[in-house]
Amino acid sequence: MSSSRLPPLNALRAFAAAARHLSFTRAAEDLHVTQAAVSHQVKALEEHLGVALFRRGTRAIHLTEAGQRYARQVREAFQILHTATDSLLAQEEAGRLTVASMTSFAAKWLIPRLGDFLSAYPEIELRLETGFAPVDLEAGVADVALRLGPGPYPGLHAELLLRDEVFPVCAPALLTGEHALRTPDDLAHHVLLQDGGLDWSVWLRAAGATADIDADRGPGFVDSTMSIQAAVAGHGVLLGRTGLIADELVQGLLVAPFDLAIESNFAYWFVCLPDLLNTPRVAAFRGWILRQTAAAAVARPVSRVIPSDEAPGVIYDTHMGRPGAAWT
């Protein structure tokens, strides 16, 4: 048969749905069109073939003998098309995908959820690059960066993943004892854990602390994973970020002694080169992580949150690298 004798694809889809349900109405619901549209498409197919495919009654339709044979073969043909399409897309998705992420975000948020992605896309060979240096996407160092910063990054495709709120957290033991944490001024008697980039002085001013507290004192950590562990161990009070401490809050390993948070001026972003956005592997990872962040429950043990633009300073202040590079 020449290609000119092949029926239109929409007509075949309408016929297949009607044959499956023996109902133009239910076929229309499947295809998200009107009943009249399905009826018209089937009639056009019968005229194209010169063969009656249905016997139409007042309350029901039935396949003719020719319609039964044709429905079976059309169903098989559509299955072949589906299989061929799935196979093609799987081949396109297969291969390496390099994702760059800040070490702390990878350890505390991404990796606990990563099993879901690996199960859903076994054909993708995921390579996770972690560190603190800016990642130059234009140089091909990574396909995707999970960036912590202000956004939205001209010249790159960027989508917001998670917003952070910043507030003091500590081990439950620090809520009792001689210098129990009850007011911000009580921080004068405790070690302040310094998480690189987070400014204690901004939170202290917002909280109205009046005690003589040196906001810069205390051990410093470049990797938030370590600062969180130090807080869990009871070594001091940490300015925690919701994106990284959710599990510890839920498990009761950390608590928030004060009812005040500041919305961070930085957020987590999905970033890639615009030319890579619709490539199969990047598209698969993008869709997955957007679903994960949309479903992520944010642990918020405080009710008072100050917007970042109303805070008495910049709560998160660090150099983010040049345009086209992603601080991860």
Query: Does residue 323 register a pLDDT over 80?
Result: no
Write the pLDDT tens digit of every residue in 187-243. 999 999 999 889 999 999 999 999 999 999 999 998 899 999 999 999 999 999 998
Place 320 in a pLDDT band, splitting at 50, 70 and 90: very low
Provide, rounded to the nearest whole percent, the portion of the chain with pLDDT above 90.
71
SS3 category, 147: strand
| Higher-confidence position of 144 and 316 | 144
Which domains, and CATH codes, for the chain? 3-92 (1.10.10.10), 97-328 (3.40.190.290)
Q: What is the pLDDT averaged over residues 251-259?
A: 96
The pTM for the full model equals 0.67
The pLDDT value recorded for residue 5 is 79
Place 4 in a pLDDT band, splitting at 50, 70 and 90: low
**Contact residues for 203 (Cβ-Cβ < 8 A; gap 6+):** 166, 167, 168, 239, 260, 262, 315
Q: Encoding tokens for residue 28?
A: 């229309």
What's the rounded Cα separation, in Å, for the pair 86 and 103? 35
